[in-house]
Chains A and B, each alone.
Chain A
Amino acid sequence: GAGVSQTPSNKVTEKGKYVELRCDPISGHTALYWYRQSLGQGPEFLIYFQGTGAADDSGLPNDRFFAVRPEGSVSTLKIQRTERGDSAVYLCASSALAQDEQFFGPGTRLTVL
């Protein structure tokens, strides 16, 4: 009965480095989402997967951000050449169907120095 899990819980990196954030959705959930939450703000949509394919990546801020879900389960969010403005909590969620309630993981707090 595990929920959505995310690793690492915290990541500190230096400007310009590459980072990968992992999300393990609830078993059987075909839809997976990534959001970013800055301090004092609501979560901001990044990308949504239906199965292995990205159904909507309109929220990715630029081409430094990329996400994959090769086997339709675990997903990895990849950020190249990190910038200080990328510092935020990155949230992953999953749902059985796209219009269903989304269940969120605990997030990964990314700090770019």
Chain B
Amino acid sequence: AQKVTQAQTEISVVEKEDVTLDCVYETRDTTYYLFWYKQPPSGELVFLIRRNSFDEQNEISGRYSWNFQKSTSSFNFTITASQVVDSAVYFCALSDNAGGTSYGKLTFGQGTILTVHP
């Protein structure tokens, strides 16, 4: 069965510090997709990134970067020079073809609460 583990329940940093959010996943499929979502205090989930299992290149988008390592089944997310506006709950998620349902279902981790202090 699919599983996503975000071992860090809460992280607290001071503005301008770098912070890495960990995500470990489990799947039996060879083709799967990994996602990160941000849930700010307003509550609406905001899509950040989607990676497929065949693309292990790290990705950078502004202050955000993602490190995908199939060897350790990890898809970690780093925020460089954190800002107060980065304070939110961050979710890692996985979709695969388990049961032949063609990737429709997202399995989420428990989330990591990030607080950035001024």
Residues of A within 8 A of B (CB): 31, 33, 35, 40-45, 48, 50, 55-56, 58-59, 89, 91, 93, 98-107
Contact = CB atoms under 8 A, between A and B. Distances in A.
Contacts, number: 69
B44 A105 contact: yes
B41 interface: no
B91 A101 contact: no
Q: Which of B99, B102, B105 has the most CB of A within 10 A?
A: B105
Interface in B68-94: 91, 93
Contact of A99 (B4, B33, B46, B110): B33
A43 B47 contact: no
B16 interface: no
Contacts of A99: 33, 52, 95, 102-103
A42 B103 contact: no
A44 B107 CA distance: 7
B88 to A, nearest CB: 13
B105 A107 contact: no
10 contacts: A43-B91, A50-B104, A55-B101, A55-B104, A91-B45, A99-B103, A101-B47, A103-B47, A104-B45, A107-B44
Nearest 8 Cβ contacts at the A-B interface: A42-B108, A48-B104, A56-B101, A104-B45, A99-B103, A98-B104, A45-B105, A98-B103
